[in-house]
Amino acid sequence: MPSSLTLQHHADALYRQHHQWLQRWLLRKVRSHADADDLAQDVFVRTINSPKLEQIEEPRAFLTTLAKCVLCNFWRRQELEQAYLQALKELPETFFPSAEELALINETILQLDKLLSDLPLKVRHAFLLNRLEGMTHVEIANNMSLSLATIERYIKQALLHCYQAALKEKFA
């Protein structure tokens, strides 16, 4: 088992050699220095916490693959935020939440997004249609052009995932 000093040295070298390149790569994707900096940090935190840190043979390929995952999460969060802001614009002013309520709602949405991010896309989509849109399993099956049994399996999978996450949180 490698020593923590060896791992730290490997992580430091990886960061020094590739951080600037990764920032530029991300900047071309997001066109914001602040977002590129934040995303690069996220990539390196995940890299440093990876159990395969010392086994990385092609650092740029590894970092690019990881950066693409981080970018997908970033864009999904932005999409969610935009949809939420659009929904707020459509509310009458008397129903508009306070700044504190907005912060709590945003935090809850991000937690939910993080919780569901481990699920396959179709499972997550079916679950959100059921829970947020109030659609029945039959309506979801018709909407997604899938069988009722498949939708029932998807909803069960999502509920089990949420239940297991709640248990982990409770006993952590």
User: What residue spans define the domains of the chain?
Assistant: 1-98, 118-172
Mean pLDDT, residues 81-105: 81
**DSSP assignment string, 44-105:** HHHHHT-TTGGG-S-HHHHHHHHHHHHHHHHHHHHHHHHHHHHHHHTS-GGGPPPHHHHHHH
State if pTM tops 0.85.
Answer: no
Q: Rounded to whole angstroms, how far apart are CA atoms 129 and 155?
A: 10
- Name the CA dihedral angle for 45, 79, 140, 168, rounded to a multiple of 10 degrees: 30
Best CATH choice for the domain 118-172 from the list 2.40.37.10, 1.20.140.10, 1.10.760.10, 1.10.10.10: 1.10.10.10
Rounded distance between C-alpha atoms, residue 53 and residue 46, angstroms: 10
Residue pLDDT, tens place only, 14-52: 999 999 999 999 999 999 999 999 999 999 988 888 888
pLDDT at residue 64, as a whole number: 94
| Neighbour count for residue 124 (Cβ, 10 Å) | 19
Q: How confident is the model at residue 115 (pLDDT cuts 50, 70, 90)?
A: confident
**pLDDT at 168 > cutoff 80:** yes
pLDDT tens for each residue of 131-157: 888 899 999 999 999 999 999 999 999
Q: Is the CB of residue 53 less than 8 Å from the CB of residue 12?
A: no
